Homo-oligomer: A and B are copies of this chain.
């Protein structure tokens, strides 16, 4: 069987669900998953659907053409369709912190992440040994104020060369410019070490410590031009108290960062995230 995942959003109106399910049936598909959501404030309809088709009679291009003509144009839909057997290629950007990198590579190694990791890029050389121990090509591309544009150009070229589908900033400490964001809109995942929108920017643990919060968090989001302001994919928190000095907050926060980033990556890989209005709809 050939399995596809279809993601749709459009202005809500009567009959969308029936029309979509009818379309799939008319094209000999068997729907194995369907979930929808209507943002009633904005009157937007979202749907995620998985369907199976007989391998011999299904062609992705034909399906896409028909979908556009029969449905998408009529309902003025924004849509994406993926073939289940297509494994996305994920680029990893890192700096000096190793915890997120270790965590991702450990999961990758054990088959937990259904991706391909063609290379790791870093503005420092410190994490090369880790990349080597996992047999993944490591590219050291230093970044300074003056060389930033060039560096990003090299990064983009690597991404093109390796056919990268999305980028994960695993505690990558450089701000990613629109140069990259525009090539990968809603495809650059960052982990910010605070519970957004609290403590945006640098040294959030220090700010959290100063404010005396009783809970700290980590947030994974798609990168947009405004720092730490992009659509949130996943967040998690842990309790802290006066007994935690800044070092303790950082240590506790590291565990959160690992899990929140890994979960966001998994949701993205499984095509469960739809972005609208700088927010995400996460299908189960």
List residues of chain A with CB under 8 Å of any chain B CB: 14-15, 17-18, 21-22, 24-25, 30-41, 98-99, 102-103, 106, 109-110, 112, 133, 195-199, 210-215, 217, 231-237, 239, 241-243, 245-246, 251, 255, 259, 262, 277-282, 284
A218 CB to nearest chain B CB (Å):
11
**Closest residue on chain B to residue A208 by CB atoms:** B197
How far, in angstroms, from A15 to B39 measured CA to CA in the complex?
28
A94 CB to nearest chain B CB (Å):
14
Give chain B residues whose Cβ lies under 8 Å from the Cβ of A212.
231-232, 277-280
Main secondary structure of the interface of A (DSSP, over half): mixed
- When all copies of this chain in the complex are counted, the total is 4
A250 CB to nearest chain B CB (Å):
10
Give chain B residues whose Cβ lies under 8 Å from the Cβ of A231.
212
A261 CB to nearest chain B CB (Å):
12
Q: Is the CB of B38 within 8 A of A18?
A: no
Contact A239/B242 with A98-B106, A106-B98, A234-B214 known, Cβ cut-off 8 Å: no
Give chain B residues whose Cβ lies under 8 Å from the Cβ of A214.
232-235, 282
**Closest residue on chain B to residue A23 by CB atoms:** B18
For this complex, 13 residue pairs linking A to B, each with C-beta atoms less than 8 Å apart, are: A17-B21, A18-B21, A35-B35, A37-B242, A39-B242, A40-B245, A196-B213, A197-B211, A212-B231, A212-B232, A212-B280, A237-B237, A239-B239
